[in-house]
Each structure stands twice: as structure tokens, then as C-alpha cells.
Amino acid sequence: MLKYKNISVPDKGEKIEVDGANLIVGDSPIIPFIEGDGIGPDIWKAAQFVLDNAVKKTYNNKRKIEWMEIYAGDKAVRVYGKNQWLPNETIDAIKNFTVAIKGPLTTPISGGIRSLNVALRQKLDLFASVRPIRYFTGVPSPVKRPQDLNVIIFRENTEDLYTGIEFKSGTKDNNKVLNFLNYEFKKNIRDGSGIGIKLISEFGSTRLVQKAIEYAIDNDKKSVTLVHKGNIMKYTEGAFRDWGYKAAKKFFGDITITEDDLRDKYKGVLPIGKILIKDRIADNMFQQLMLRPTEYEVIATPNLNGDYLSDACAAQVGGLGFAPGANLSYSIGLFEATHGTAPKYADKDKVNPGSLILSGVMMLEYLGWKEAAKEIEKAIKRTIKAKTVTYDFARQMSGSKEVKCSVFAKEIVKNMK
Ligand code: NAD
């Protein structure tokens, strides 16, 4: 078994193996977890409790997750020492054990790391951020028909403005880049402008769109929408759209059609077994998801659009406290709460653990343990129906009973059959 300096590998259990596109999962997979900072320990405890009970009840004690703690954020600094926000061991353990789950992490203010989440995504090449957005009956929502929104967003996770290539106004490097653009390319950039570089590649766009279409195929979805701002940023966002259509044609040409095909060849009726590939300009897409949400199922989009769009969609169905997420590479799956560390609520056992629990549900589905995943979903629905909720929902639900984070988890477990 593998040896680490500060990570204790459980004696029991087995490593998940990867065989091409498939995972080989035993009855007691070892799964690394990062508890997270701020509210992380509270929501992790709650999520672990729910996941363990669901697995135990669903499989009559035949299956069990062997949890293995790994470290990032404040706790990593406590365990490994100064500036050790993201120890190499943590990265190695995720690579070795393939599937992991994490709570939210503080963004360090020193130590040369911009964001631990971005660092994790880049070091592990987790190129797809996957965010399912759907409504649980009874959750307070600001829109009239939140149940109409049921989409899954595939956000490119490694490129775009997030590569961190920036030049601060007034610095020598900034002047160099600015002069280069002004003189070599006859641009007219204002003095003192900050500069950030937007990078979108065919490689990055293709693999993301492929993943989105594969998901649509596996889950019987009828459309994949490429969301971009290609009308303005032609060679980055526009290229994403073009490469997306190209990937659809090249890898899935026999089952995908475009909106032109739909109109010209199929009289507007999608043939059975085909997937419609369409594209929408990002600003329009924000309207579309409010006004015509039922027309969208799977969305594939570059990093920045995906960042905005996933939070906006989450708000429509009840906010970030209930929005799960996963970061995927070809083989690794890192599941995570999508909100931050909410420091003012740390150690108060108060916040909503729903986001991390639902990320755990995604993780169970990823493992192929779909029955346990379903069990949790049903229990969550019953708990919300009974109006036993944490403060964030309670203040918006009349007749509700506000409970602590840990009690909410216990209620979910009680509501499992
Ligand atoms: P935040 O998501 O931590 O909190 C914003 C507000 O949202 C909170 O004050 C709270 O009212 C609400 N909220 C968040 N999670 C909730 C939950 N589970 N239940 C109920 N209400 C909840 O965002 P922030 O204040 O901008 O960021 C705080 C820290 O978290 C920063 O250091 C930031 O960099 C980090 N962050 C981490 C992640 C991540 O690890 N994925 C994501 C975003 C922010």
C-alpha cells in the first residue's frame, strides 16, 4: 500500500482502479476527503453522516466507503507547516485514489497561490467543471416555475481568463506588452491599462464538448448548447463555438444534428436517437434560462461564462447552499461544495450542508452506486417537504422549522426508507 508523510491510508478497503473509460470499484473503496475551511468541518461531518448511512442502508452493510483524510487550506498549514496550503501529497493522493471529495477552501493571502481551487484544477488537469442544476420541490426560489430549470453545465476549467496571465498597470512587464501590441500590431491601447490574456484552445474546447455530448448520450438528453460570446470575441469564444460544432461532427456525427439540419432536413422535429447541438450567445443565454428554461438540458461553455452561469442558475433553484459540483479529468473525479467557506458561520453548526451532500450524491453516481444516490435524493425531498431546514431556507419558508446543520443531516437519514 502507498505510504505518505501525513496521510494515513486506511488498513481496510481498496483503491479504485481505472480501466479505460471505466472505473473498477470494489465494495469498500478508499476515498480521500478534504474537510475544508470555515464552515467546511460542519458540512463535511453532516455530508459524511448522510453518505455513510445511505450506503449502509441501501446495500445492507455489504458496501462501505473507507474515508481517508487529505489536507488543503488552513488545516494543511497546521499539519504540514507554513505556506503548505496544497501539499504535493494531497495532489498525489487524489491522483492515486482517483475519486475524492472536498469542502470549501479559503483563498490564501500569501504563499504564491491565487486560489487553491484553481490550483487543484490545474495540477490535476480537471478540465470539466460539472454543475447539475435542478429544483427540489419546496425549496424557496425567486422565480415562478423553478421546476422548469433542469440543466447540467459543463464549464471548461483550465483555460480562458483563469490561466492567470496578467500584467499589472504601471509595471515594466505591462509596459513591454502594451508597447508590443501598440507598435507591432498598431493597436491603440490606453496608457495604464491593466492587461489579462484570454486563452481558448481547440484541444481544451474539444475535450470539454466531447464530455458534454458523452453525458447527453449516457443520460438520454436531447440537446447540447454551446454558450459563447463569439459575436465579440471571435477568435476565443467564437472559436470555442466552431470547435464545439467540429467536435460534435467528428466524434458523434451519426447522432448529432444542428439547428440548420433540424429546420432544413427534419421539418423542425428532432428524430428519435439524435442530439441537437445548438449555440447561444452568453448574454442571451441568461435570458433564455429565465424565460425558456425547458429548451435547455446540457450546456457546454468556456470558463468565465460557466462561472457566472452556474451561480445564476443555482440562484433560480434555491441558491448555492444547495448546488453540487464536480471537477473531472479523463480519469479523476473531485466532487465539491460549490460555495465558499462562509467564515462568519464557521463552527456554528448552522449552515446548509446540501451542496456537499448533493456533491456526494454525484460522487455515488460516478461510482456506479446509483441506488444509494437515489436514496439520498428521496430523503432530501422528504426532509424539505416536512419543512425541516437550515436557516437559509427557514427564513424564506413559512411554517418551517429551523434546524442546525447536523440536525438537518440526521433528518435526511431518518427520512431514508
Ligand atoms: P461564500 O460562499 O463563502 O459565502 C457567501 C455567503 O453565502 C455567506 O455569507 C452565506 O450567507 C452564504 N452561504 C455560503 N455557503 C452557505 C451554506 N452552505 N449554507 C447557507 N449559506 C451559505 O463566499 P465568499 O464570502 O465570497 O468567500 C469566502 C471564502 O471562500 C473566500 O476565501 C473565498 O475565496 C472562498 N471560496 C471558496 C470556494 C471553494 O472552495 N469552492 C468557492 C467560493 C469562495
383 has pLDDT over 70: yes
Backbone angles phi, psi at 91, to 5 degrees: -65, -45
Whose C-alpha lies nearest to ligand 1, atom 35?
340
- Mean pLDDT for 231-252 is 98
Report the nearest atom of ligand 1 relative to the CA of 344. Answer: 9
Cβ(121) to ligand 1 under 6 A? no
pLDDT of residue 214: 95
For residue 216 the three cell numbers come to 447527453
Report pLDDT digits (tens) over 72-94. 999 999 999 998 999 999 999 99
Q: Any bridge partners for residue 17, and if so which?
A: 24
351 lines ligand 1 (CB under 6 A): yes
Mean pLDDT value across the chain: 95
Q: Is the pLDDT of residue 195 over 60?
A: yes
Q: Quick one: cell of 7?
A: 496521510
Ligand 1 mean position to 358 CA, how many Å? 16
Cell digits of residue 405: 446543520
Q: Are strands 298-301 and 333-337 parallel, antiparallel or unpaired?
A: unpaired
pLDDT > 90 in the chain, percent: 89
pLDDT of residue 115: 85
For the chain, the maximum distance between any two Cα atoms, rounded to a whole number of angstroms, is 71
Predicted pLDDT at 127 = 97
CA of 279 to the centre of ligand 1 (A): 31
Q: Which amino acid is at 135?
A: Y
Per-residue model confidence (pLDDT) at position 3 = 85
Q: Please calculate the CA angle 89-45-69 and round it to the nearest 5 degrees.
A: 15
**Can you give the pTM of this predicted structure?**
0.93
Q: Is the pLDDT of residue 2 over 90?
A: no
Above 80 in pLDDT, residue 110?
Answer: no
Residue 104 confidence (pLDDT)? 95
At residue 414's C-alpha, the angle toward residues 411 and 415, to 5°, is 90
Q: Residue 292 has what pLDDT?
A: 96
Q: What ligand 1 atom has the least distance to the C-alpha of 102? A: 40
- Please state at what angle helix 370-385 crosses helix 405-414, rounded to 10 degrees: 110
- Output the pLDDT for position 112: 64
CA 104 – ligand 1 centroid, Å: 8
CB 259 within 8 A of CB 275: no
Average pLDDT over residues 21-40: 95
Using alpha carbons, select from 342, 333, 330 the residue that is nearest to residue 363. 333
Catalytic residue among 229, 349, 350, 391: 229
DSSP sequence for 266-305: TTT-PPTT-EEEEEEEHHHHHHHHHH-GGG-SEEEE-HHH
Task: Give yes or no: 162 in active site.
Answer: yes
Query: Which pLDDT score, from 0 to 100, does residue 113 have?
Result: 67
User: Average pLDDT for residues 294-311, to the nearest whole number?
Assistant: 96
Radius of gyration of the chain from its Cα atoms, rounded to whole angstroms: 22
Best residue among 34, 334, 339 to mutate for probing ligand 1, ranked by most atoms within 8 Å of CB: 339
336 Cα nearest atom in ligand 1: 41
pLDDT on residue 111: 57
Residue 251 has pLDDT above 60, yes or no: yes
Indicate if 274 belongs to the active site.
no
d(CA 279, CA 284) in angstroms, rounded, equals 10
CA distance 369 to 345: 33
Cβ of 96 closer than 6 Å to ligand 1, yes or no, is no
Minimum mean pLDDT range among 29-38, 52-61, 102-111, 242-251: 102-111
What is the pLDDT, as a whole number, of residue 333?
Answer: 96
For a pocket test of ligand 1, which of 341, 347, 357, 358 has the largest count of ligand atoms closer than 8 A to its C-beta? 341
- Whether 248 shows a pLDDT value over 70: the answer reads yes
Judged against a pLDDT cut of 90, whether residue 164 lies above it is answered with no
DSSP state of 85: S
Higher model confidence: residue 110 or residue 148?
Answer: 148
Q: What is the pLDDT of residue 322?
A: 85
pLDDT in tens, 132-163: 999 999 888 999 999 999 999 999 999 999 88
Contact by Cβ (8 Å): 71, 6: yes
What is the mean pLDDT of the segment spanning 262-289? 96
Ligand 1 in contact with 31 (CB < 6 A)? no
Name the active-site residue from 74, 307, 349, 392: 307
- pLDDT of 295 > 90? The answer is yes
Mean of the pLDDT values across residues 350-359? 96
Q: How far is CA 148 from CA 165, 284, 341, in A?
A: 39, 18, 30
